[in-house]
Structure 1
Amino acid sequence: MTNNPPISKRYSEGMATRRQVLGDDHVDRAESAKIDFDAPFQELIVEAAWGHVWSRDQWTRRERSMVTIALLAALGHYEEVAMHVRATANTGATREDIREAMLHVAVYAGVPAANHAIKVVKKTFDEMDADGTGS
């Protein structure tokens, strides 16, 4: 990449939080796949999602994890649901927490959204159990 903007304090904080939540392997893969085209988008994600929101002290990582999974499921962003279910190994959200979040999705966002998200969550749990990252 040719155009590297200066790294802000918020970016540094966000990257540290992103690594704590998603793990170094995931972040390293995302960073190595970054090109000039999506670099501004990746910077936005790190600063806004991870620096401005996930780094706040008002909620625990567990709470943020549950809310994030529910919102992603409600919006039908199932690849992101799977990514954040994997991240629960680092956030402390339990399978019971995720189950409760899916019940909220069913009631407030609709049964079809929750039904599909539950399939994604179950598959992700199976993968986590198989690779030893599940609890």
Structure 2
Amino acid sequence: MGEMRAHSERYRQGILTRRAVLGDPHVDRAQSSTTDFDRPFQELITEAAWGHVWSRPGWTKRERSLVTIAVLAALGHDEEVAMHVRATANTGATREDIGEALLHVAIYAGVPAANRAIRIAKEVFEQMDAEKAA
């Protein structure tokens, strides 16, 4: 966290929100694998996505989580869908919430997009359940 002193307040808020949503292990992995090549990108998403959007008042992390999953599913961003489904352990979105969001994806973005996201969500749930049981 020592690197935060050199960044803007928006970045500092973003890293706190990013950690709250994705968890310290995920953010620590992302930061430890950051190179000079992708450092500007990591700073951009931390400040813009996490500091500007995810940190705004008005919507809960649960609500933002569901919208994010639906948009990512609609766009076919599978790795990001999986990451944000896993993050629901921290945002308060339930499996039922995710199912409802993906029903909307089926109607408004297409059955194939929803079908793929449902498969991904089920895989993530299985992994989460196995980790919890271990």
Normalising to structure 2: TM-score of the pair?
Answer: 0.94
Structure with the larger helix share: 2
Counterparts of 1:81 and 1:26 in 2: how far apart (Å)?
A: 15
> 5+ residue gaps in structure 1?
none
The aligned residue for residue 86 of structure 2 is: 86
How many equivalent residue pairs?
130
The aligned residue for residue 55 of structure 1 is: 55
Normalising to structure 1: TM-score of the pair?
Answer: 0.94
Counterparts of 2:6 and 2:123 in 1: how far apart (Å)?
A: 40
Counterparts of 2:5 and 2:34 in 1: how far apart (Å)?
A: 14
How far off its partner does 1:58 sit?
1.1
Counterparts of 2:81 and 2:46 in 1: how far apart (Å)?
A: 18
Counterparts of 2:130 and 2:57 in 1: how far apart (Å)?
A: 33
Counterparts of 1:5 and 1:91 in 2: how far apart (Å)?
A: 27
- Secondary structure in structure 2 of the residue aligned to 1:56: coil
Counterparts of 1:95 and 1:75 in 2: how far apart (Å)?
A: 20
Structure 1 residue runs of 4 or more that deviate by more than 2 Å after TM superposition: none
Q: Confirm or deny that 1:123 pairs with 2:123.
A: yes
Counterparts of 1:52 and 1:99 in 2: how far apart (Å)?
A: 27
Q: Confirm or deny that 1:43 pairs with 2:43.
A: yes
How far off its partner does 1:115 sit?
0.5
Q: What is the CA RMSD across the aligned residues, in angstroms?
A: 1.4
The aligned residue for residue 20 of structure 1 is: 20
- Secondary structure in structure 2 of the residue aligned to 1:37: coil
- Secondary structure in structure 1 of the residue aligned to 2:6: coil
The aligned residue for residue 99 of structure 1 is: 99
Q: Deviations for 1:45-89, whole angstroms, at most 9, x for unmatched residues?
A: 000000000001110000000000000000000110010011000
The aligned residue for residue 6 of structure 2 is: 6
Q: Which residue identity does 2:107 align to in structure 1?
A: V
How far off its partner does 1:131 sit?
0.3
Counterparts of 1:5 and 1:72 in 2: how far apart (Å)?
A: 32
How far off its partner does 1:19 sit?
0.3
Q: Deviations for 1:86-123, whole angstroms, at most 9, x for unmatched residues?
A: 10000000000000000000000000000011000000
